Structure 1
Amino acid sequence: MMGTPARKRRRTPAKEQTWSIPRLEEWGLSRGQQRLLVIIASVAGVLVAAVVLTFVVGSLGNDFVPQRATAAAISTQPRPDAYKGWVSPKLFAPIAQSKADPAPLTLKDIFAERVLKEGKITLKLAAGTKLDADCSVAVWGQGLVDQLAQSGCTQAARGVYASADGRYVAQYTLLNLRDTASADALVQSLTALHRGGWTNPLESGRARFPADGYTEASGHAMGHYAGLVWIGRTDGAEPGPKDDFVSLSLAVRGAEKVVFRRVVAATPPS
């Protein structure tokens, strides 16, 4: 899958810079908070690296090599056919430890926005959202259950979305773990582990993964959090030339705004 080409931006004189990034403004961050995120995420010449959604566009390009399930690993439980994991960027260093970010997650914080958009994709949050203090309830597969226990998982939040045109279904799961090392280990281990363990699907009306349908997934460590993206077509078919799974993945990751706010809250004032 090819990422969307970056648009050329007109250079603005330094004295006219307002430190305003549209994506972060949409998330309710002040210009001062935006500046703080840019400083945290400073990567030579790429200010947009402060936005993890853009980070994923670069990640899910030609380097996306699906890990397909084998015949020997066929399971009656729903799980993705393809998966790729990404370790935590330095941006999330302020929340590398859960003790630096002790406030528990709430469904209101994560799924406050019922409509998420990216490119031509519009996702609407279905009635299905769930927050479990027992992370084992949110997943299946003993290997994954054990991994979450070892990672000190205290919360698992899930939300399921359907696209406005009814073509796609997407589920986002946010896991509250002990630290970055635990989150990194989880998203990496799922490269193989997803064949025998994955998140339990939430179902609501047309927002459901079809039985035996093709789906893709990705895991993203963000400090002591791990976000799991699960996407597919509602008819279960594999994506064709007209299916933009990159934008679909980016759209559902709009639920990660809560993590960015926590980075700002955990960063000491300069």
Structure 2
Amino acid sequence: MNAPSPQAPTPSRRRRRGSSRTAQPVEGGRLRELGLSRLQQRLLVIGGSVVGVIVTAVVLAFVISAVGNDFVPERATAAAIVTQPRPDTYKGWNSPKLFAPIERNTADPAPLTLKEIFPVRTLKEGAITLKLGATKLDATCSAAVWGRELADQLTRSGCTQALRGTYTSADGRYVAQYTLFNLRDTAAANELVQSLTAGYRGGWPQPLGQGGRAPFSSSGYSEGSGNAMGHYAALVWIGRADGADPGEKDDFVSLSLAVRGAERAVFRRVVAVKPAASPS
């Protein structure tokens, strides 16, 4: 009797093309200081305002560092699967020094408003156009999330506001949600985005539905990322509308960059608190 042939090893999951695989944003500056190639510089349209320059530099660095990153977090195991929608992958980044002027909420005490964070109905990046759907502001931050540990952490972090906005691409291919938490200080924001590296499968923002339909499901594929910005913590959630894995024609990089256009309000607050923090 012939001995059974050894079972072939299961190939590791390959990196999905078009997936954002987000990496750490770095402190802004001029494009040449970022070491960008001419091609990378041509991908960027710099606005004339101080805020536009700061936003572009930081966010572009975030995206460029993501391209070519081959790290692929494993999907949730069967034991970790829950009925609540949450991303399949997550990466969190601490607050850059650029946001030092708003390190504490006492330096930036004015409450956020939905109109401030979601002032326009359309966000555009490359070939992707996102249209704003539902928005919501919760004064009780635990009401905007599921997961007891996350809700308790928000309470300990002195969270006073949670703002959510959902987007759908003009062609109906993509969905996205942006969530911004107003916390006590940078330490609390850093701790939140980093703790979700291990905890996002057990706690995440509630999907904000519109017309009785939620943008994300527990069975579909999606990606999440977290960024601390001074005393704020932002969570980005993106995916295909049909819940399928991203394919060769899917541009999750531009999708991530587009939805983060909501962060312009935070940059404006930095400039308002300390105008000298803007680049010359």
Smaller-chain TM-score bracket = 0.7 to 0.9
Matches for 1:116-195 after TM superposition, within 5 Å: 116-126=123-133, 128-195=134-201
Which position in structure 1 is the counterpart of 2:115?
108
User: Matched residues in 1 for 2:269 and 2:185: separation?
Assistant: 14
How far apart, in 2, do the equivalents of 1:23 and 1:70 lie? Answer: 42
- Map 1:182-261 → 2, pairs under 5 A: 182-205=188-211, 208-261=215-268
CA deviation profile, 1:117-143 (whole Å, cap 9, x unmatched): 1111110001x1000010000000011
Separation (CA, whole Å) in 1 of partners of 2:47 and 2:176 = 23
TM-score normalised over the length of structure 2: 0.79
CA RMSD of aligned residues (A): 2.5
Contact 2:82–2:218 (Cα < 8 Å) also in 1: no
Shift of 1:268: 5.3
Contact kept? 1:66, 1:84, Cα under 8 Å: no
CA distance in 2, matches of 1:240, 1:6: 27
Give 1:50 deviation, angstroms.
6.2
2:233 aligned partner, one-letter code: A
Amino acid at match of 1:136: S
CA distance in 2, matches of 1:84, 1:61: 14
Match of 1:76 in 2: 83
In 2, Cα distance between the equivalents of 1:8 and 1:172? Answer: 31
Correspondent of 2:273 among 252, 263, 266: 266
Residue 151 of structure 1: how far off its partner (Å): 1.1
What are the Cα deviations for residues 147-191 of structure 1, in whole angstroms up to 9, with x where unaligned? 111111110000000000000000000110111111111111101
Structure 1: 5+ residue runs without aligned partners?
A: 12-20, 39-47
1:219 & 1:140 partners in 2: Cα distance? 16
5 Å matches for 1:19-98? 23-25=46-48, 29=49, 33=50, 51-63=57-69, 64-98=71-105
Q: CA, structure 1 residues 65+88, in 2 after alignment: closer, same or farther (shift >3 Å)? A: farther
Cα 1:207–1:201 change in 2 (3 A) is: closer
> Could you say what secondary structure the match of 2:248 adopts?
coil
SS at match of 2:237: strand
> Equivalents in 1 of 2:244, 2:101: separation in Å?
41
Corresponding residue pairs, total: 241
Cα distance in structure 2, aligned partners of 1:51 and 1:133? 32
Give the 3 Å change call, closer, same or farther, for CA 266–24 of structure 1 in structure 2.
Answer: farther
Q: Distance in 2 between matches of 1:131 and 1:221?
A: 19
C-alpha deviation, 1:8, in angstroms: 1.4
Q: 1:202 to 1:240 in 2, by over 3 A?
A: same
- SS of the residue corresponding to residue 201 of structure 2 reads coil
Cα distance between partner residues in 1 of 2:74 and 2:227:
16
Q: Partners of 1:207 and 1:22 in 2: how far apart? A: 33
Aligned-residue identity in percent = 66
Deviation of the 1:99 alpha carbon: 0.6
Offset at residue 51 of structure 1 (A): 3.0
Q: Is the 8 A contact 1:67 1:83 kept in 2?
A: no
Q: 1:162 to 1:7 in 2, by over 3 A?
A: farther
Which secondary structure state, in structure 1, belongs to the residue aligned with residue 262 of structure 2?
helix
Matches of 1:269 and 1:234 in 2, distance apart? 42
After superposing on structure 2, the runs of 4+ consecutive aligned residues of structure 1 that deviate more than 6 Å are none
Residue aligned with 1:192, SS: helix
- Amino acid of the residue matched to residue 149 of structure 1? T
Residue number in structure 2 paired with 1:43: none
CA contact (8 A) 1:180 1:221 kept: yes
